[in-house]
């Protein structure tokens, strides 16, 4: 399919090491995909679901020791440890290559090696970057066909160039002790072994579009971020775009596909999803604004909790052309189910759990994860184009202009509902101190704070401190930068109940944010930044008073000062590469809180 000598010689080398029985090139055709689906069903790797209810949908179960990304086994292999920094696991490239060689050698004996040429971003666009993933898993091929743009046109676009990301994945023995997800940024190479789970093996996603791309972005003057992208359409037809970064379990996919409250819908407001997980951002030379594309082609979403109230758009997206992983199989209807889908789990006798065992829903105990039918991290892989609210700009070559960047976290007390940073530099600082609290099981108990800068803690392909420096440097390169905000949907009252309704009502906060970007609304300055005047948050139709909004917007100096101490510890952990500017911002914040 190609004469590219760099591609061909690399594949020869990888095949000599892994020793597959045969090599099959993936051309992106429906006929080939269909044949692979049939083959996966014949071996039990996938189950074909009820084609009347769920056309072109399949179920897959991973090994039970292989259900999530493994941060402890994810490595950035730069020549020096300093380049990878203290937040990443590091190993010297030679040492890691040697270790991997032993694991890969002969690992594809008796198996087929599939060659997947894929693009992150629209093929041929300025944003696009190409990759080739070699894998011995049909499940990976079929997921990549959804999550990325795959086919011969990628090879045509690549031509004779050596400029592509090499990815090698082998399932090997799915041995946890020898599972490695490794990145060699200087070599444009990703190697993953002993896993079959999405985040570890769909190499276009976290490995390429975040870790390798963040490294490339720093080198080339752009940004790869763990952000959703959405468009807010106004009654007059104008659309303004927002990107947002949240740590996991903060409702990122729900926000990306938000449905506005009825009262706003009636006025003509709409929300369009451009992306739910990753944004690549570049400065547009014509208007000096930052433009965003979603480099992916599908959604790899968490199934549990997705339902027709929390996220009807996501649910609708999964109704066709979807691969479900580790959910419950309803054997009576040959459909799927997960916790939080509805109150009608399949009855005992008709239900197989994510491990492949008979499942009795009457034994389900919310507090005991081992009784779940679907794994808590069970997933759907679904085509973006099947999403009812997918943006008409999804395939745009130049991306969408970003008005606002929103950071967020799950904080019971500290962060107000929303605040605005005072500059790009201050906004980058706000991103660097992002954090989320784990929800403790005991009622009212406040969880552990995990600092997750820009929601990129597990995804920066180099030193976190240098990544912050790149953020600061980008500020000097964007003539018309987006404004930067921070939101917190998760403030709780004294009984531990969420105060803000969240979900679709988050639209009310987005509208304030966009009004600020347009200079249409005033704000109060506080030690942490600009906070709305309570009356400027639209509460029409909500069961909430102005006083509650005031409470949601308070900045409690004591808890912020405690947070400052925690941030100092975190900065020390990030180490020498933390830019002085970030320390200056932190000192200024502390001084304002103490004033």
The residues annotated with a catalytic role in the active site are 250
Residue placing its CB nearer to Mn ion in the complex, 289 or 379: 379
Residue placing its CB nearer to ligand OXD in the complex, 277 or 437: 277
Q: How far is the CB of 14 from Mn ion (least distance, A)?
A: 28
Q: What residue 199 binds from ligand OXD, Mn ion, none (CB within 5 to 8 A, per partner kind)?
A: ligand OXD
Q: How far is the CB of 293 from ligand OXD (least distance, A)?
A: 17
Q: Taking the mean position of all CA atoms in its chain, how far away is CA 61?
A: 22
DSSP string, 267-290: HT-EEEEEESS-EEEEE-TTT-BE
Which span (261-269, 276-284, 413-421, 516-524) binds Mn ion, by CB under 5 A? 276-284
Which span (45-53, 82-90, 229-237, 274-282) binds Mn ion, by CB under 5 A? 274-282
Q: How far is the CB of 226 from Mn ion (least distance, A)?
A: 6
Q: What residue 470 binds from Mn ion, ligand OXD, none (CB within 5 to 8 A, per partner kind)?
A: none
Sign of the CA dihedral 260, 264, 265, 269? negative
Q: Which residues, at least 6 apart from 57, have a Cβ–Cβ distance to it below 8 Å? A: 49, 51, 318, 319, 320, 321, 322, 323, 324, 336
Q: What residue 334 binds from Mn ion, ligand OXD, none (CB within 5 to 8 A, per partner kind)?
A: none
And the tokens for 114?
């599939």
Size of the site for ligand OXD (CB under 6 A): 4
Please, which of residues 67-96 interact with ligand OXD by CB under 6 A?
69
Q: Taking the mean position of all CA atoms in its chain, how far away is CA 214?
A: 14
User: Does 305 help bind ligand OXD (rule: CB under 6 A)?
Assistant: no
The correct pick among 83, 133, 136, 277 for binding Mn ion (CB under 5 A) is 277
User: Does 277 help bind ligand OXD (rule: CB under 6 A)?
Assistant: yes
Residue placing its CB nearer to ligand OXD in the complex, 277 or 339: 277
Residue placing its CB nearer to ligand OXD in the complex, 164 or 380: 380
Q: What residue 505 binds from ligand OXD, Mn ion, none (CB within 5 to 8 A, per partner kind)?
A: none
- CA-CA distance, 256 to 250, in Å (whole number)? 12
Residue placing its CB nearer to Mn ion in the complex, 277 or 466: 277
- CA-CA distance, 184 to 192, in Å (whole number)? 11
User: Does 339 help bind Mn ion (rule: CB under 5 A)?
Assistant: no
- CA-CA distance, 483 to 476, in Å (whole number)? 14
And the tokens for 452?
């997750």
Residue placing its CB nearer to Mn ion in the complex, 207 or 528: 207
The correct pick among 151, 185, 196, 199 for binding ligand OXD (CB under 6 A) is 199
Q: How far is the CB of 252 from ligand OXD (least distance, A)?
A: 8
And the tokens for 464?
């976190």
Q: Which residues, at least 6 apart from 208, have a Cβ–Cβ distance to it below 8 Å? A: 120, 129, 131, 165, 167, 190
Please, which of residues 494-523 interact with Mn ion by CB under 5 A?
none
Q: What residue 183 binds from ligand OXD, Mn ion, none (CB within 5 to 8 A, per partner kind)?
A: none
User: Does 248 help bind ligand OXD (rule: CB under 6 A)?
Assistant: yes
Count of residues in the chain: 595
Residue nearest to Mn ion (CB): 277
Instruction: Determine how β-strand 112-120 pairs with β-strand 22-25.
Output: parallel
Size of the site for Mn ion (CB under 5 A): 1
Other CB atoms within a 10 A radius of the CB of residue 449 amount to 19
Q: What residue 304 binds from Mn ion, ligand OXD, none (CB within 5 to 8 A, per partner kind)?
A: none
Residue placing its CB nearer to Mn ion in the complex, 277 or 393: 277
Q: How far is the CB of 530 from ligand OXD (least distance, A)?
A: 29
Q: How far is the CB of 205 from ligand OXD (least distance, A)?
A: 8
CB 423 within 8 A of CB 588: no
Q: How far is the CB of 276 from ligand OXD (least distance, A)?
A: 8
Q: Per-residue x/- marks for ligand OXD, 342-381, CB under 6 A? A: ----------------------------------------
DSSP 165: E
DSSP 358: B
Within 278-331, strands assigned E span 279-283, 290-293, 298-302, 323-325, 328-330
DSSP string, 1-51: ----HHHHHHHHHHHHHH--SEEEE----HHHHHHHHHHHHHHTSSEE--T
Tokens 């967020």, located at residue: 408
- CA-CA distance, 213 to 277, in Å (whole number)? 14
Residue nearest to ligand OXD (CB): 277
Q: How far is the CB of 69 from ligand OXD (least distance, A)?
A: 6
- CA-CA distance, 502 to 266, in Å (whole number)? 19
Other CB atoms within a 10 A radius of the CB of residue 224 amount to 27
Distances in whole angstroms, Cα of residue 52 to Cα of each of 45, 48, 320, 323:
21, 11, 10, 16
Residue placing its CB nearer to ligand OXD in the complex, 37 or 69: 69
Which span (11-19, 211-219, 272-280, 402-410) binds Mn ion, by CB under 5 A? 272-280
Q: How far is the CB of 148 from ligand OXD (least distance, A)?
A: 15
- CA-CA distance, 201 to 300, in Å (whole number)? 12
DSSP string, 518-576: TT-S-EEEETTEEEE-GGGS--TT-S--HHHHHHHT---HHHHHHHHHHHHHHHHHH-T
Residue placing its CB nearer to ligand OXD in the complex, 199 or 529: 199
Residue placing its CB nearer to ligand OXD in the complex, 71 or 95: 71
User: Does 251 help bind ligand OXD (rule: CB under 6 A)?
Assistant: no
Q: How far is the CB of 502 from Mn ion (least distance, A)?
A: 19
Q: Which residues bind Mn ion (CB under 5 A)?
A: 277
Q: For binding to ligand OXD (CB under 6 A), which residues are involved?
A: 69, 199, 248, 277
């Amino acid at each position: 399919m190609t004469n590219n000598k760099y591609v061909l010689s690399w594949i020869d080398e990888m095949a000599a090491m892994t020793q597959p029985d045969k090599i099959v090139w993936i051309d992106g055709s429906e006929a080939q995909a269909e044949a692979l689906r049939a083959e996966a069903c014949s071996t039990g790797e996938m189950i074909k679901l009820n084609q009347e209810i769920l056309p072109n949908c399949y179920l897959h179960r991973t090994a039970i020791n292989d259900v999530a990304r493994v941060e402890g086994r994810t490595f950035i292999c730069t020549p020096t440890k300093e380049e990878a920094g203290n937040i990443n696991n590091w190993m010297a490239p030679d040492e890691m290559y040697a270790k991997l060689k032993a694991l890969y050698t002969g690992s594809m004996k008796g198996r087929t090696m599939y060659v997947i040429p894929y693009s992150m971003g629209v093929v041929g666009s300025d944003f696009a970057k190409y990759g080739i993933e070699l894998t011995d898993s049909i499940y990976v091929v079929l997921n990549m066909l959804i999550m990325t743009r795959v086919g011969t046109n990628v090879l045509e676009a690549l031509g004779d160039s050596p400029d592509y990301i090499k990815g090698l994945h082998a399932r090997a023995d799915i041995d946890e002790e020898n599972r490695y997800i490794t990145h060699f940024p200087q070599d444009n190479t990703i190697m993953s072994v002993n896993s079959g789970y999405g985040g570890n093996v769909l190499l276009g996603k976290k490995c390429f579009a975040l870790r390798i791309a963040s490294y490339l972005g720093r080198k080339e003057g752009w940004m790869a971020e763990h952000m959703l992208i959405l468009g807010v359409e106004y009654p007059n037809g104008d659309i303004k775009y927002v990107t947002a970064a949240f740590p996991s379990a903060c409702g990122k996919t729900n926000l990306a596909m938000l449905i506005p409250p009825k009262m706003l819908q009636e006025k003509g407001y709409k929300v369009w999803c451009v992306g739910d997980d990753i944004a690549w951002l570049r400065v547009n030379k014509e208007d000096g604004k930052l433009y965003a594309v979603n480099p992916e082609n599908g959604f790899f979403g968490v199934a549990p909790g997705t339902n027709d109230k929390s996220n009807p758009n996501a649910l609708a997206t999964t109704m066709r052309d979807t691969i479900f992983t580790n959910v419950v199989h309803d054997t009576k209807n040959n459909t799927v189910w997960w916790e939080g889908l509805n109150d009608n789990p399949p009855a005992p006798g008709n239900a197989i759990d994510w491990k492949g065992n008979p499942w009795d829903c009457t034994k389900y105990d919310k507090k005991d994860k081992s009784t779940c039918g679907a794994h808590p991290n069970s997933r759907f892989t679904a085509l973006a184009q099947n999403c009812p609210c997918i943006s008409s700009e999804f395939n745009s070559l130049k991306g969408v202009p970003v008005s606002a960047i929103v950071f967020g976290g799950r904080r019971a007390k500290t962060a107000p509902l929303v605040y605005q940073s005072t500059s790009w530099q201050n906004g980058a600082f706000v991103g660097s101190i992002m954090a989320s609290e784990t929800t403790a099981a005991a009622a009212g108990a406040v969880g552990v704070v995990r600092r997750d800068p820009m929601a990129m803690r597990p995804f920066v392909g180099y030193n976190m401190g240098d990544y912050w420096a790149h953020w600061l440097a980008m500020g000097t390169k964007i003539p018309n930068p987006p404004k930067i905000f921070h939101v917190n949907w998760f403030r709780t009252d004294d009984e531990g109940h969420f105060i803000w309704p969240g979900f679709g009502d988050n639209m009310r906060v987005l509208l304030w944010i966009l009004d600020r970007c347009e200079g249409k609304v005033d704000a109060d300055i506080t030690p942490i930044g600009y906070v709305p005047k309570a009356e400027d948050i639209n509460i029409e139709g909500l069961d909430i008073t102005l006083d509650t909004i005031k409470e949601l917007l308070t900045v409690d100096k004591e808890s912020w000062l405690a947070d400052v101490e925690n941030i100092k510890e975190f900065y020390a952990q990030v180490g020498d590469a933390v830019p002085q500017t970030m320390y200056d911002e932190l000192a200024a914040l502390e001084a304002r809180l103490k004033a």
